[in-house]
Structure 1
Amino acid sequence: MRVDFAPSEQSSVGIEWELALVDLASGELTPAAPRLIEACQGGEDAPIRKEYLQEMVEIVSGVHARVGDAVADIAASLAIARREASALGVGLVGAGTHPFSRASAQPRFSGERYDVVAERNAWWGRQMAICGTHVHVGVDHRDKALPITSALARFYPYLLAVTCSSPYWEGEDTGYASQRTMLFQQLPTNGLPWPMSDWAEFEEYAEDLARSGMITVPGEIRWDVRPSPRFGTVENRTGDSVPSLAELGCVAALTQCLAEHASRSLAADATYESLPPWLVRENKWRAARYGMDAEVITPRRQRPVPLREGLAQWLERLEPVARDLGCEAELRFAAELAERGASYERQRTTGDPRAALELLLAETGRQSPFAR
């Protein structure tokens, strides 16, 4: 299968932010997306769009050189969505999962693509009441797309930890910092990217999936980090949805800086730091389970490194890149999250799923979760 990759400006950035819709009277998820999208004049190519389930919407930025501009773009659309949602008695929540609503009770949208997802995935498909944050980073040459994909997957624990926001599931504390991660990986073609040496191998992989009936188009390859040939990007899909704009900017800046670091490494000596796939998989599980308290396996595998320690080292290492890209403040916020608590930690501090929802409603759309 031929898969054309449309190169784009290196390290340009775009953000897709999925938000749950909550009935403000009961606190339960509510299938308000059709009404909200119509009220916002949203649609398939508009900034405010539908997703698989009717209890969520996706807000999409344009393409920007700077993370701050992408976040400002999102914030402008959020203001519209919040105004119209309020008129409907609906609140917006940025989190990987709703703390207590039952997932299988949520109706989905109809359509050929969604019908196939529902039929193929059966019970697991009915558990997809989950929201994520997706960050696209531009890649200026097709041959860099797969190496940058692998490089970002190697940094999975850092990219996930700053967004972990789904400790509760249907009223129970799961013990995981990101329950969403564990659910999302159950679907076929989801999960970690397969290591591949060149674009021809990716095309052969896509052909195998199409021939076996697993996909009809390459966009149905839903890896946690994947090339997005249509947009000429690598897309980081590891993160939970997050409540605040500062957290949104943080994961976008970390993604942008790590992708640019990999691009520069490839240009300098045609290499990038990597881990065997079985260790990348272990790091993914550790971050989903323990969040900021995980211990991370690194290419220098003498001993696991506390995630907070490894994150601090990489934030320092990426400072020159962030300075060049104009996202220093957004990147630095990762250190504040490590010190003061990512969303899953803040939710658990409330001690109760309903109190956690109230916190999420208050934090969603706020500039910083630590501003009062």
Structure 2
Amino acid sequence: MLIEFAPSAQSSVGIEWELALVDLATGELAPMAEEVLHAVDAHDEGPIRKEYLKNMVELVSGVHAHVEDAVADLAEQLRTLRTALAPLNLGVIGSGTHPFSRSADQQRFHGPRYDLVDERTAYWGRQMAICGTHVHVGVDHRDKSLPITCGLARFYPYLLAVSCASPFWEGEDTGYASQRTMLFQQLPTNGLPYPMATWSEFEAYAEELLACGMINVAAEIRWDVRPSPKFGTVENRTADSVPTLAELGCVTALTQCFVEHISRTYEQDQFVDRLPSWLVRENKWRAARYGMDAEVIVPSAGRREVPLREGLAMWLDRLSPIARDLGCERELAFAGELAEHGASYRRQLDAGSPQQALQTLLKETGADSPFV
């Protein structure tokens, strides 16, 4: 299966921000996407788009050199969206899950593509009332895309911890900082990327999936981190949807800096430092379970585990020259504030109940920074 990769400006960024629609009278998810999208004159390639479920919309930024500009782009889209929400008495939340609405009660859009997804995924497909933040980072040569994809997966616990925003599921405290992570990996072709080094390996893999009827196009390979050939990017899909613009900028800057770090290393010696697959998988689970309080496994002959906060602080220091080059120092540094004061999952839990967590999310979504 020949897959064309359209190279793009190295370390340029674009963001996709999935948001849930909420009925302000009841607090429940609202299947009103059709009305909202019509009100903003949305279309498939526009900045405000439909998603699989009718209780969601997606805001999509343009391509930008700087994180700050990509976030400002989405903030403008959110302002447009809110003009359509107000007459319908709707709110919007950036969170991996709604704190108490039942997933099985949600309505989906119909059409050949969506009908096939529903038929294939059955029960687990009906649990996908979840929202994520997807960050695209430009890659200037196809041959770097798979090394960067697999290299970026190494940093999963840090990319997830700053965005964990789904402690509640259908009114229950799950004990997980990111319930969305645990749900999303249940679908076919989802989960961690396979350790591939060359583009031909990826094409052969896609060919096998196509021959087996698992996919129709390469875009249906939904790894947590994946190459996006159409846009010439590597796409980080690990993050929950987050409420505030500061958190949006943080996960984008962290992704951009890690990609640039891997790219520079690869250009220097054609090598990307990877971790064993079992270790990456375990660290993913630990971050989803414990968020910032996780202990992550490190590739050391001596000390085998470090507090996630400690590892994050080390990488923030190491990435700071890259952030300076890319113009995202402020956004990257905010990860340290989240480590100290708490990501969204902690603020939702501290609110006291699923209902109070929802109110926190409604207030914070689109705000410049968290209310702490």
1:272 is aligned to 272
1:351 equivalenced with 2:355 (yes/no): no
**Structure 2 CA distance for aligned equivalents of residues 55 and 205 of structure 1:** 34
1:296 equivalenced with 2:311 (yes/no): no
CA deviation after TM superposition for structure 1 residue 7, in Å = 0.4
Q: How many residues align?
A: 371
CA shift digits 1:165-213 (9 cap, x unpaired): 0000000000000000000000000000000121111000000000000
Contact 1:294-1:306 within 8 A present in 2 as well: yes
1:144 equivalenced with 2:139 (yes/no): no
**Structure 2 CA distance for aligned equivalents of residues 162 and 111 of structure 1:** 35
Contact 1:59-1:74 within 8 A present in 2 as well: yes
Residue identity in the other structure for 2:88: L
Q: Secondary structure at the match of 2:300?
A: coil
CA deviation after TM superposition for structure 1 residue 6, in Å = 0.5
1:15 is aligned to 15
CA shift digits 1:138-177 (9 cap, x unpaired): 0000000001001110000000000000000000000000
1:260 is aligned to 260
2:314 is aligned to 313
1:227 is aligned to 227
1:74 equivalenced with 2:74 (yes/no): yes
Give the RMSD, CA atoms, in angstroms.
Answer: 0.8
**Structure 1 CA distance for aligned equivalents of residues 25 and 300 of structure 2:** 52
CA deviation after TM superposition for structure 1 residue 267, in Å = 1.1
Structure 1 vs Structure 2: percent identity of aligned residues? 70
Q: Secondary structure at the match of 2:253?
A: helix
Matches within 5 A, 1:51-130: 51-130=51-130
**Structure 1 CA distance for aligned equivalents of residues 244 and 43 of structure 2:** 24
Contact 1:146-1:227 within 8 A present in 2 as well: yes
Residue identity in the other structure for 1:100: F
CA shift digits 1:228-279 (9 cap, x unpaired): 0010000000000000000000000000000000000011111222101111
TM-score by length of 1: 0.99
1:132 equivalenced with 2:135 (yes/no): no
**Structure 1 CA distance for aligned equivalents of residues 272 and 145 of structure 2:** 13
1:328 is aligned to 329
CA deviation after TM superposition for structure 1 residue 86, in Å = 1.3
Residue identity in the other structure for 1:188: P
Gaps of 5+ in 1: none
Residue identity in the other structure for 2:73: D
Q: Secondary structure at the match of 1:227?
A: strand
**Structure 2 CA distance for aligned equivalents of residues 155 and 240 of structure 1:** 15
CA deviation after TM superposition for structure 1 residue 220, in Å = 0.3
Q: Secondary structure at the match of 1:206?
A: helix
**Structure 2 CA distance for aligned equivalents of residues 89 and 31 of structure 1:** 13
Matches within 5 A, 1:31-42: 31-42=31-42
1:342 is aligned to 343
Contact 1:273-1:299 within 8 A present in 2 as well: no
Matches within 5 A, 1:161-172: 161-172=161-172
CA deviation after TM superposition for structure 1 residue 300, in Å = 2.2
CA deviation after TM superposition for structure 1 residue 299, in Å = 2.4
1:4 is aligned to 4
**Structure 1 CA distance for aligned equivalents of residues 149 and 306 of structure 2:** 23
CA deviation after TM superposition for structure 1 residue 337, in Å = 0.3
2:201 is aligned to 201
**Structure 2 CA distance for aligned equivalents of residues 366 and 111 of structure 1:** 35
2:213 is aligned to 213
Residue identity in the other structure for 2:351: T
CA deviation after TM superposition for structure 1 residue 82, in Å = 1.2
Q: Secondary structure at the match of 1:157?
A: helix
Residue identity in the other structure for 2:101: S
**Structure 1 CA distance for aligned equivalents of residues 184 and 332 of structure 2:** 26
Q: Secondary structure at the match of 1:214?
A: coil
Q: Secondary structure at the match of 1:186?
A: coil
1:158 is aligned to 158
1:187 is aligned to 187
Residue identity in the other structure for 1:355: Q
CA deviation after TM superposition for structure 1 residue 364, in Å = 0.2
Q: Secondary structure at the match of 2:136?
A: strand
Residue identity in the other structure for 2:361: L
Contact 1:253-1:327 within 8 A present in 2 as well: yes
TM-score by length of 2: 0.99
**Structure 2 CA distance for aligned equivalents of residues 257 and 348 of structure 1:** 30
Deviation larger for 264-273 or 341-350: 264-273
Q: Secondary structure at the match of 1:41?
A: coil
Q: Secondary structure at the match of 1:104?
A: helix
Residue identity in the other structure for 2:93: V
Q: Secondary structure at the match of 2:235?
A: strand
**Structure 1 CA distance for aligned equivalents of residues 312 and 83 of structure 2:** 37
